[in-house]
Amino acid sequence: MSKPIYVLSGPNLNLLGAREPEIYGHQTLEDVQRLCEARASALGREIVFRQSNHEGELIDWIQEAREKAAAIVINPAGYGHTSVAILDALKMVGIPVIECHLSNPAAREAFRHQTYVSLAATGVVSGFGAASYELAVEAAAGLTRPAAK
């Protein structure tokens, strides 16, 4: 059996659906998890879905993924713009990293236009609401598909 795809979400994403729904939508994080699980299942994959408001816990999961995951999908939320520590952890994983955002950071405030995570990401999916996570899971699954014989 192949390793799972880790889907990690950063601070304040536990409040999806209630927090600025005009930007982030009305779906909850539980809704997003169900979407990711369904997409992964359709692709013959499993996910490990986690959220934390704590930078160190996200780093612990990234480090864990080095051995236990096939790829990482990460929505770093605000930490994307501030955390060199998360960047450093992602640079060491040696597996595909897909950065994911519900909104389009490039269309928002100037401080959101760049993220540290992008420096370590294989690719970025943003601006599609909850579907950004689904698309990111699909990309991660595609990048980790066994080679055809």
Just list the catalytic residues: 24, 101
Q: Could you tell me which of 33, 32, 5 has the C-alpha nearest to residue 145?
A: 5
Both tokens assigned to 56: 């160190």
Pairwise CA distance, residues 135 & 11, whole Å? 21
**Cβ within 8 Å of residue 95, ≥6 positions away:** 65, 66, 69, 70, 71, 72, 144
